[in-house]
Amino acid sequence: MSQFQEKTEITRIERLAVDIYRLTLLSPEIASAAQPGQFVMVRTTNSKDPLLRRPFSICQTSSGKYFQILFKVVGRGTSLLAHCREGEFLSVLGPLGNGFQVDYNSANCLVGGGMGIAPLLFLGKTMLRKCKEQQPIVVLGARNKDELSPLVADFKELGLLVHAATDDGSLGRHGLVTDVLKNISFGTECQFSVCGPTPMMRAVHFFCKEGEYACQVSMETAMACGMGACLGCIVPVEKGGYAHACSDGPVFNAKELLWPIQ
Amino acid sequence: MADTIKADLSVSIGSLKLKNPVMTASGTFGYAREFEPYVNLHRLGAVVVKGISLEPRAGNPPPRIVETSCGMLNAIGLENVGVDRFITEKMVSLQDVKVPVLVNILGDSIDEYREITKRLAGVAGIAGIEVNISCPNVKKGGVAFGTVPEMASAVTRAVREESTVPVIVKLSPNVSDITVIAKAVEEAGADAVSLINTLIGMAIDHKSRRPKIANVIGGLSGPAIKPVALRMVYQVSQVVSIPVIGIGGIETYEDVLEFMLAGATAVQIGTANFVNPRASEEAVEGLACYVKEQKLRSIRDVIGALILP
């Protein structure tokens, strides 16, 4: 497994919505090793406070040199990142964890919610590259149009059709992604790759269970190290005990987890 | 670089000879191999692996960790694979790593500590045992072994009797006078003491009115605890004649020097491994440069060399 600790240059900062940002970082090592669903740990400051790195899914890579992360400002760490400038350097560890395991020749459905949409863009892009004949079905949800439309645009740019749902109905269907899923007919072979808030993933897991579709989910938890040392990032598993989101995941077969996850 | 390799960084912990004083702290470095993409393990003084109990433990429910000002709280709940799997899986994978491996052990009773030590005796590749005495003694109503001198002494004696390698006792800072415990374990036969374990703390989310970790209270670590750790290392170094291993908020070689000046023979780097997985190796490099620059014969010249006002 290739992992790197890199000083990466911020080559681009985009403000996609009021509190949503996308950073483009330069690191040929990380960009060329990354697989869809893997993540990076980013240091938000050189000082001792905030102390810990923050985990972010890799949103996409380009030219084997650049990778992007997408985030919403939710606290001090993300606020510091939002205030970075192009040309500054960030310490990044990665790529970390296990990504999505996908049969690219099969029918696929990507279901994303909020910032959880990030790794699905990377996955969708990879799917199109590996198998042009099979376009994945894309279902994306967020709170409102402001949040969702810049993310939908990325998928549309790839030529993918997006089914949208928003909590307030300002874009796409007024409701949840599962309301959208219920109105799409999927082939029995369809495989679901899901990332978003835990209640959403849980709902999609139950939808898939009922329809007997394969379903993978990417779990987000608090974590200190991202590499299997701190044992902070646990998720309960069906067979009892816990798995570690960083080293066993973050992508899991939804059936192996013990739902509902808090 | 050839220049720095010549710097004498070696130190001794009892019969254990280390090529430099920088170790990694238990619970912050996994079973060491996780850090191989970042660190040349053989350049470290030693690695201390995750605490091992007699039976496997699943650990506490989430959330287990939370960031605090210049530090973090954790209540992992001593999740580990148990001593038998540790020996057959983890130790086997560590055998070709050219670095002394210290095994941290923990238990709920004196018998458990004794039994773990018995099973570890003679296992190839184990250079020493570090005894975590911050665990609750189930038979004595859950009072931590490390907080009562008699209990700390009894655990130390049991482990010392069964162990074939040097025994380091890791002290809890959650006591009114750490020097009393340090003296008790020295008398009971400890080859060294390491300190400090985490300070018990708490974090609350005022919005939800809930504690931020499921265990309610947890262990505070990171730069936030360094002044407390330095003070305790200084105090303990005054009263024991066995080596003291400093732990608590150490990240850089400057931090290492501060602990050695306070009296530590060696140190462990803990939480910093999470932030900078190369911290331990970088500290070794920094110490080598320091010894050369200061034209010291050995890093040992720094131990206890604090100049008091």
Question: pLDDT tens across A101-125, in order?
Answer: 999 889 999 999 999 999 999 999 9
A vs B: CB pairs below 8 A: 96
Same structural domain, A113 and A91:
no
Asked if B274 and B29 count as a contact pair (C-beta separation under 8 A), the reply is no
Average pLDDT, chain A: 94
Same structural domain, A85 and A125:
no
Asked if A27 and A92 count as a contact pair (C-beta separation under 8 A), the reply is yes
Question: pLDDT tens across A57-96, in order?
Answer: 999 999 999 999 999 999 999 999 999 999 999 999 999 9
pLDDT category of residue B93 using cuts at 50, 70 and 90: confident
| Residue range B295-299: mean pLDDT, rounded | 95
The two structure tokens encoding residue A195: 């990332």
Same structural domain, A192 and A113:
yes
Kindly list the residues from chain A whose CB atom is less than 8 angstroms away from the CB atom of residue B213.
none
The 3-class SS string of chain B reads CHHHHCCCCCEEECCEEECCCEEECCCCCCCCHHHCCCCCHHHCCEEEEEEECCCCECCCCCCCEEEECCEEEECCCCCECCHHHHHHHHHHHHCCCCCCEEEEECCCCHHHHHHHHHHHCCCCCEEEEEEECCCEEHHHCCEEHHHCHHHHHHHHHHHHHHCCCCEEEECCCCCCCHHHHHHHHHHCCCCEEEECCCEEEECEECCCCEECCCCCEEEEECHHHHHHHHHHHHHHHHHCCCCEEEECCCCCHHHHHHHHHCCCCEEEECCHHHHCCCHHHHHHHHHHHHHHHCCCCCHHHHCCCCCCC
What's the domain count of chain A? 2
> How far is Cα B142 from Cα B158, in angstroms, rounded to an integer?
19
pLDDT value, residue B4: 46
Residue B291 corresponds to which amino acid?
Answer: V
Mutation for B interface: A41, A52, A93, most B CBs within 10 A = A52
pLDDT at B142 over 80: no
Contact A51 B67 (CB under 8 A): yes
Question: pLDDT tens across A47-61, in order?
Answer: 999 999 999 999 999
Closest CA–CA distance from residue A66 to any residue of chain B (Å): 21
Closest CA–CA distance from residue B33 to any residue of chain A (Å): 10
Q: Is A262 on the interface with B (CB under 8 A)?
A: yes
**Residue B280 sits in which domain range?**
2-59+78-199+220-302
Residue A155 lies in a domain: yes
pLDDT at A253 over 70: yes
Task: Report chain A's C-alpha Rg in angstroms.
Answer: 17
Residue B212 lies in a domain: no
Same structural domain, A86 and A154:
no
CATH number of the domain where residue A77 is located: 2.40.30.10
Same structural domain, A52 and A90:
yes
For residue A44, the chain B residue with the least C-alpha distance is: B275
Residue where a domain stops, chosen among A65, A96, A127 = A96
Contact A247 B274 (CB under 8 A): no
Same structural domain, A208 and A167:
yes
Question: Known catalytic residues of B?
Answer: 135
Question: Among residues of chain A, what percentage have pLDDT more than 70?
Answer: 99
Residue B307 lies in a domain: no
Same structural domain, A70 and A12:
yes
Mutation for A interface: B26, B67, B208, most A CBs within 10 A = B67
pLDDT category of residue B226 using cuts at 50, 70 and 90: very high
Residue where a domain stops, chosen among A37, A63, A96 = A96
Q: What is the DSSP letter of A211?
A: H
> How far is Cα A113 from Cα A147, in angstroms, rounded to an integer?
10
Residue that is written with structure tokens 């045992």 in the block: B129
- B149-162 vs B178-187: helix crossing angle, rounded to 10: 30
Residue A80 lies in a domain: yes
| Residue range A32-54: mean pLDDT, rounded | 96
pLDDT value, residue B137: 67
pLDDT value, residue B6: 79
Q: Is the pLDDT higher at B1 or at B226?
A: B226
CATH number of the domain where residue B230 is located: 3.20.20.70
Average pLDDT, chain B: 94
> How far is Cα B162 from Cα B259, in angstroms, rounded to an integer?
31
Residue A156 lies in a domain: yes
Asked if B205 and B213 count as a contact pair (C-beta separation under 8 A), the reply is no
Q: Is A227 on the interface with B (CB under 8 A)?
A: yes
Residue where a domain stops, chosen among A96, A130, A147 = A96
Same structural domain, A42 and A126:
no
Q: Is A16 on the interface with B (CB under 8 A)?
A: no
Question: pLDDT tens across B227-251, in order?
Answer: 999 999 999 999 999 999 999 999 9
pLDDT at B224 over 90: yes
Contact B274 A53 (CB under 8 A): yes
pLDDT category of residue A132 using cuts at 50, 70 and 90: confident
Kindly list the residues from chain B whose CB atom is less than 8 angstroms away from the CB atom of residue A222.
62-63, 65-66
Kindly list the residues from chain A whose CB atom is less than 8 angstroms away from the CB atom of residue B79.
231, 242
Same structural domain, A28 and A124:
no
Closest CA–CA distance from residue B265 to any residue of chain A (Å): 26
Residue A251 lies in a domain: no
Q: Is A53 on the interface with B (CB under 8 A)?
A: yes
Residue B67 lies in a domain: no
Residue A182: helix, strand or coil by DSSP? Answer: coil
Question: pLDDT tens across A216-233, in order?
Answer: 999 999 999 999 999 999
Same structural domain, A119 and A199:
yes
Q: What burial letters (b/e) apply to A132-168, b meaning 16+ CB within 10 Å?
A: eeebbbbbbbbeebbbbbbbbebbeebebebbbbbee
Q: Which of B34, B63, B64 sits opposite A227 (nearest CB)?
A: B34
What's the domain count of chain B? 1
| Residue range A164-186: mean pLDDT, rounded | 93
Q: Of A168, A164, A131, A130, which Cα lies nearest the Cα of A149?
A: A164
Residue B114 lies in a domain: yes
Question: pLDDT tens across B24-65, in order?
Answer: 999 999 999 999 999 999 999 999 999 999 999 999 999 999
Contact A222 B70 (CB under 8 A): no
Same structural domain, A75 and A122:
no
**Residue A76 sits in which domain range?**
4-96
Question: pLDDT tens across B1-17, in order?
Answer: 445 457 999 999 999 99
Question: pLDDT tens across B157-205, in order?
Answer: 999 999 999 999 999 999 999 999 999 999 999 999 999 999 999 999 9
Same structural domain, A129 and A30:
no
Q: Is B79 on the interface with A (CB under 8 A)?
A: yes
CATH number of the domain where residue A191 is located: 3.40.50.80
Residue A250 lies in a domain: no
pLDDT category of residue B211 using cuts at 50, 70 and 90: very high
Q: A189 — phi, psi (to 5°)?
A: -85, -5
Kindly list the residues from chain A whose CB atom is less than 8 angstroms away from the CB atom of residue B276.
5, 91
Q: End-to-end distance of chain A based on CA atoms, in angstroms?
A: 31
Question: Among residues of chain B, what percentage have pLDDT more than 90?
Answer: 91
Residue B66 lies in a domain: no
Residue A107 corresponds to which amino acid?
Answer: A
Q: Is A258 on the interface with B (CB under 8 A)?
A: no
> How far is Cα A246 from Cα A251, in angstroms, rounded to an integer?
9
